[in-house]
Amino acid sequence: MYEEYIKVEDLTVSYDLKPVLWDIDLNIPKGVLMAIIGPNGAGKSTLIKTMLGLLKPVSGEVTFNKEPYEKIQKQVSYVPQRGTVDWDFPISVYDVVLMGRYGYAGWFKRISKNDKKITLEALEKVGMTPYKNRQISELSGGQQQRVFLARALAQEAEIYFMDEPFQGVDAKTEKAIVELLKELKRQNKTVIVVHHDLETVPQYFDWVTLLNVKVVATGPIKEVFTEENLIATYSVSKIDAAREIKYVG
């Protein structure tokens, strides 16, 4: 039996009266690494933004350990898509990561020695310590992504949402993300990742939700990441679906 931790019930979201998510029901257990996969326009990013309260649904609700998001938001960390961030904002790498501590210290309270220690440890874990005094705008795309991952680590959250963290990154950053996912798994954190590379789904995750406006299937990788479900989600041929699921093993 899996312990229900995050619950999405009857969730519908629309843009300009057109549904982009329809009647979504999810039960996400504590401690899973969950990928959300589906074709372009399936509503993947919309789903996590709605779960985080960034978008308002037409109907439905989301609870975290039976509480609304507003009551547990300090326990939640969000890594947005790189393309949605203003990288020209004048701020150092160190200060970006330190922002992950503001949920504990508050915006107008003094940062403690422990906050600074945790910030430096997070930078070290993603290999960005040598760049701590650089402006965020001076970094490569992969380095910027690692800085945002360090900020998420510094927050010491219980639940992590990541929107396409692997997209367009270099091999070093991909390795850093994979190591971060493993570490969060060891700590029994719950991680929800919008992901696009079907080949790596069974390598990186233990739980998956297949989404195409509606939930096609959700559950453990070995039960859900099947030829039939991939065909239903992506409208691909059986040959293409079989090519992807061979990695489940």
Cα separation, 93 vs 139, whole angstroms = 9
Structure tokens at 113: 């020695």
Encode pLDDT of 39-73 as tens digits: 999 999 999 999 999 999 999 999 999 999 989 98
Give the Cα separation of 13 and 100 in Å (integer). 29
- 152 exposed, middle or buried (CB, 10 Å; 0-12, 13-18, 19+)? buried
What is the rounded distance in angstroms from the CA atom of residue 5 to the CA atom of residue 75?
Answer: 13
Residues paired with 63 in a beta bridge: 7
Contacts of 236 (CB under 8 A, 6+ apart): 230
Residues linked to residue 161 through DSSP beta bridges, in sequence order: 78, 192
* pLDDT score, position 239: 46
All structural domains of the chain, each given as residue ranges with its CATH number in brackets, are 4-245 (3.40.50.300)
Average of per-residue pLDDT across 193-217: 95
Averaged pLDDT score across all residues of the chain:
88
